[in-house]
Amino acid sequence: MCTHCLHNIAQYPVELQQPAFESLLYGRVNFEQARCLFYFQKHGASQEAIHNLKYRNQSQLSEFFGDWMGELLKESKHFQSVDAVIPVPLHPKRLRKRGYNQVEGFGRGIAKHLKANYIDHVLLRRSNSKTQVFKNRMARTEMIENSFYISSTRTLKEKHLLLVDDLATTGATLESCYLALKPIPDFKLSLATMALNR
C-alpha cells in the first residue's frame, strides 16, 4: 500500500479491539483473544483495500496485511501459544472463480511470524452462500449452523487455533466456523481479522 493510503486507513486502537469483538460475539463464540488491523469504513481507504483484495485481483495485499498483523501478534504473550492458523475457507466454486482465497496470504504471514502451522485442509466450506439480508431468521440460523464442517478432529486436538478472516461485520461467519470447530477435543480459539466493522 502507498504511504497516502496507509496514512488514511483507520487503524483500530489496540485497547478497544478485544472489547469490540466480545461485544460483537457475546454468547455466540467462545474465544481467548481477538485482534484486527483497522476499522472498516465505507467509501474509505479500508473499504478500497478490502475491495481491491477480494474483487480486483490484488492478492498481494493479503500477504502485506499478514506480515503487518504477524509483527504485531508476535509481540503479544496471548498469541505466542498459537499452534495453528486456520483461514476461513472459500467454497470451491468461488475459489475457482476468484483464483485465490483472499485470507491465505494473511494467514500464512501470521503463521510465519508466530512460528505456527498454517492449516487450510481441515475447516471446509459446505455452502456457497450469498448475502443474508433477505433471508428470514430460520434460514439465517440454518446457514450459520451448516455452512462449514471439519474433515478431522485429530489434527487440531488440544491445540490453540487462530481463525483468520478479512472482515468481521455481523460475526455470522466467525460464529459458523466456531460451531464447525466445536467437536475438536480441548481446543482453544483466538481470532484475527484485517478489519472490523464495529
- CATH number, residue 63: 3.40.50.2020
Entry pTM: 0.89
pLDDT for res 133: 43
Query: If you average pLDDT over residues 150-165, what whole number do you get?
Result: 95
74 vs 48, which has greater pLDDT? Answer: 74
DSSP secondary structure string, 66-135? HHHHHHHHTT-GGGTT--EEEEPPPPHHHHHHHSS-TTHHHHHHHHHHHT-EE--SSEEE------STTS
Whether the predicted pLDDT of 124 surpasses 60:
yes
> Considering its fold, how many domains does the chain have in total?
1
Structure confidence at residue 138 as a pLDDT band (50, 70, 90): very low
Q: Which domain holds residue 26?
A: 3-196
Half-sphere exposure of 107 (CA within 13 A, CB side): 24
% of the chain surpassing 70 pLDDT: 87
Whether the predicted pLDDT of 89 surpasses 80:
yes
Whether the predicted pLDDT of 120 surpasses 90:
yes
pLDDT for res 176: 95
Instruction: Please write the tens of the pLDDT for every residue from 10-31.
Output: 789 999 999 999 999 999 999 9
